[in-house]
Amino acid sequence: MITEEIWIKYKETEDKELKDLLIVNYVPLVKIVAGRMYNFYGSKVEFDDLLGYGILGLIDSIEKFDISKNIKFETYAQIRIKGAIIDNIRKLDWIPRSLRKKSKQVQQTMQELENKLGYTPSNIELAEHLNVSVEEVENIFSDIATFNVISLEEFLKNKNEGILDSKDNSELPDDVYEKKEIKAILIDTINNLPEKEKLIISLYYYDELTYKEIGNILDLSESRISQIHSKTMLKLKNDLIKKGITDH
């Protein structure tokens, strides 16, 4: 029985054996997503744990997927698999309170200086305003890199869940319009980034390269890519705050 036939019969009957066949069929997809995320979170969590979280997302995807919609299951499932992994990483609460405080402080300082200067402040300007060394600012960006990835991805997932899916007929017109507006604002915000930052975001999120691989392309160290990425995430969050998409 081919996969398409399994899908049709499962959605007609909700048979557990058919569901299990679908799970087994798409486990390689979970391994791919978990493997990519392990590159970033491996120092905090075991791969098998990420895989387990991803399987939960896969099961949820299979149960909720509408085969009548014009969208590939793999596209739909990757969003939910990744979301399930992020949700469970957050539940581990391994991010120290001091790190959250640093992230918030730097984000607010960037916002204040950007409003005052009219451009994204340099690390030197941030260091002067925070009354610390440039090296310490760079270390902060390195320290909060993973935290910012989780927090921004969680925000995007929560605000735009289903934004890549086909239209849900149960959605109100206002909800559909809001999702389109949010998507347009996100695209515009990313497109307005400086070329280097935009390229790093593209390589990281769309091509799903690691910091090391991006560093090889741009001839920069892995830690430098981490710092640039982290600072860019804070800038994006501040831009979204200005445009009323989020308040934190």
* 97-242: CATH number: 1.20.140
Confidence band of 151 (pLDDT split at 50, 70, 90): low
Most confident range, picked from 49-53, 88-92, 183-187: 49-53
Q: Report the top-level CATH class of 3-92.
A: mainly alpha
CA distances from 122 to 113, 142, 194, 211 (A): 10, 16, 13, 21
Return residue ranges of the chain for CATH 1.10.1740.10. 3-92
Phi, psi for 208 (deg, rounded to 5):
55, 45
Query: Average of pLDDT values for 188-209?
Result: 84
Return residue ranges of the chain for CATH 1.20.140. 97-242
Query: Average of pLDDT values for 152-180?
Result: 50
Mean model confidence pLDDT for the chain = 81
pLDDT at residue 164 is higher than 60: no
- Select the more confidently predicted residue: 171 or 110: 110
pLDDT at residue 161 is higher than 50: no
Q: Name which of 71-75, 97-101, 167-171, 222-226 the model is least confident about.
A: 167-171
Predicted structure pTM score: 0.59
